Amino acid sequence: MKKRIIALLLCMTTLTTVTACGNGKDNTTETTEAEVRSSQIDVDVDKQVKMLGNYDGMDIEISGNYDVTDEDVEKQGMSMLNSYGLGSVEVTDRDTVQAGDYVNVDYTGYHDGEAFDKGSAQDVLIDVDNNKDVKSGTTYIDGFSAGLIGATVGSTVSTDVTFPENYGNSDLAGQPATFEFVINGIYQPVTLDTVSDDVIKDNFSEKYNLNSAQEFKDFVRSYLEYQAGNNKYSATVAEVKKQLLASSEVEVPEDYLEARLNEYQTSYEKQYVDETENLETYLKDTYNTSLEDAQSQWRTNLEEQIKVELIFQAIAEKENLEVDDDGYNQFVQNFVDNSQYGFDDTEAVYNAFGNDNAEDGEAYMRKLYLVNKAMDFVVNKANVTVTAADSTGSTDSTEAVESTEQQ
């Protein structure tokens, strides 16, 4: 049975969407003796959860598109091939650029007859029809590649354009310019049905053990289905939390909240604030906000997060859920294996979550694992209805998700 571990990181309460701990950096911050660590405060779950909302067979409605189509597979697969420079084959039976071609060029941009800064590049593959860089997917300004159709290999052609008024470079915004292209070669895009087995084997066999075009396509589909499953689960968790917060009555002890806030601020500061500045300056320069306003937001977000933790701790107690060694060890290892967190080993995980106190960090991780286990228990019993995504197509959740296969 597939289960997913939801990372309810205490360090995820932020001004934006960045995390304030979990990068494994060794930036020790001094703590005064007067500060009390949250691990030193005994929080009685039964006392703080005054009323526990119904969690058995919850009716959950989420929106999104969680089915993977052939079009999705083609788009993702081609994006991957293009990132490796494998999304096209050279045309050798003609030397004139046609609609639908990819063209390899060197180009230089001129304004008032002078080449301008950052206006030139070499060995660039351009999708003529869509006016974009094949490898990066970046779209060029209107008209950039219009003059390439009809050009021949080895020739030099020029195209006149006008930069948009809102262009990032103020010296060029709204200004006319000329781009000169040297045509190096013509290429035709491949598809997942036409890419050769040899190309896949030569480039993906060692790293992914893929030896044919069909294996590559299956690999891409599995990845997208895995990702879609994570997104669906994450959206479900967000709605479960929302409903349980509304239906439960939970009080957060002020001393515990204050301790968690202090720990969060310490972690945030050591990750984001350079030694040459202070937290107040960083917040003002980066987010145009004051320390007081930031602390107010952190406090609000942390209070809600702690309520969620207490609710699922209460569910774990009621359902006799326990920390099993195999599941817990894998849970911690997920943080080590996931490169976005930057942990070298489990000790680094514990130090990060314990603010350089490994014992505190391990205690918190065990609690976090149990919270996730209870959350998984509730989600698996929920009646989930999926509706179509809104006009924006947005189905992303703000929850950080780590997924693992468990027995």
What pLDDT is attached to residue 271?
Answer: 84
In angstroms, the CA 360 to CA 354 distance is 5
Q: How many other β-carbons are positioned within 10 Å of the β-carbon of residue 58?
A: 19
Residue 78: inside a domain: no
Q: How many other β-carbons are positioned within 10 Å of the β-carbon of residue 342?
A: 14
Residue 330: inside a domain: yes
Q: Domains in the chain: how many in total?
A: 2
Residues 364 and 320 in one domain: yes
What pLDDT is attached to residue 200?
Answer: 96
- Predicted TM-score (pTM) above 0.75: no
Task: Confirm if 250 and 50 have CB atoms less than 8 A apart.
Answer: yes
Residues 247 and 394 in one domain: yes
Residues 263 and 346 in one domain: yes
Q: Which domain holds residue 154?
A: 88-189
Task: Confirm if 5 and 406 have CB atoms less than 8 A apart.
Answer: no
* CA neighbor of 35 nearest in space, from 358, 303, 267, 261: 261
The distance in angstroms from the start CA to the end CA of the chain is: 6
* Token pair recorded at residue 323: 């920390």
Residues 250 and 399 in one domain: yes
- 3-state secondary structure (DSSP) of residue 13: coil
Residue 349: inside a domain: yes
Residues 40 and 162 in one domain: no
Residues 267 and 328 in one domain: yes
Residues 317 and 289 in one domain: yes
Residues 108 and 179 in one domain: yes
In angstroms, the CA 251 to CA 52 distance is 12
**End-of-domain residue from the set 126, 155, 189:** 189
Backbone angles phi, psi at 219, to 5 degrees: -60, -45
* Token pair recorded at residue 376: 């998984």
* Residues 69-94: tens digit of each pLDDT: 999 999 999 999 988 989 999 999 99
Helix (H) or strand (E) holding 292: helix 291-318
Residue 207: inside a domain: no
Residue 82: inside a domain: no
Residue 81: inside a domain: no
Residue 202: inside a domain: no
Count H helices, E strands: the chain?
A: 10, 12
Residue 79: inside a domain: no
Residues 386 and 281 in one domain: yes
* Token pair recorded at residue 121: 């590049």
Half-sphere exposure at residue 5, Cβ-oriented, CA atoms within 13 angstroms: 22
**End-of-domain residue from the set 189, 223, 245:** 189
Residues 234 and 361 in one domain: yes
- Percent helix, strand and coil across the chain, each rounded to 5? 45, 20, 35
Task: Confirm if 243 and 58 have CB atoms less than 8 A apart.
Answer: yes
The amino acid present at 188, given as its one-letter code, is Q
CATH code of residue 154: 3.10.50.40
* CA neighbor of 107 nearest in space, from 140, 85, 82: 140
Question: If you count them, how many residues does the chain have?
Answer: 407
In angstroms, the CA 9 to CA 154 distance is 56
Residues 126 and 273 in one domain: no
The residue ranges of the chain whose pLDDT is under 50 are 1-33, 393-407
Residues 163 and 229 in one domain: no
